[in-house]
Amino acid sequence: MPPRPGPRRARIAFSDAAAKQLENITSEAEIHALDRALVVVSVAPDIGEPLPGHAAGPQLRQYTDEVERVRLLYWVTALRTVVVVAYIET
């Protein structure tokens, strides 16, 4: 019997601001911590808590990993296939 595939993961994309933040991360420990947080969000996009806002735009969410000390602000596309990271804090 062939192995069952794991959970489907959303693709990660970065806003221009988050991409600039990503360029400034040089510590290997911070990169590793960010990678772990991105995997969590890609597997379970609804894991973050919704941030208050208005209904005109996408629902902004916040995911915080207290152990790795990473905070992501992101939104998920309508079909839940892409997670757009708007802000990174390590």
pLDDT, block means (10 residues), the chain with 90 residues:
73 96 93 95 94 81 92 92 92
Provide the residue type at 70 as one letter.
Answer: V
pLDDT at res. 78: 84
DSSP3 helix / strand / coil % (the chain, rounded to 5): 30, 30, 40
Distance between CA atoms of 54 and 65, rounded to whole angstroms?
A: 25
pLDDT at res. 68: 86
pLDDT at res. 16: 96
For 36, phi and psi rounded to 5 degrees?
-60, -45
Q: List the chain domain ranges.
A: 11-89
What is the pTM (predicted TM-score) of this model? Answer: 0.84
CATH code given to domain 11-89: 3.30.2310.20
Beta 11-14 vs 82-89: how paired, if at all?
A: parallel
Determine the length of the chain.
90
pLDDT at res. 3: 67
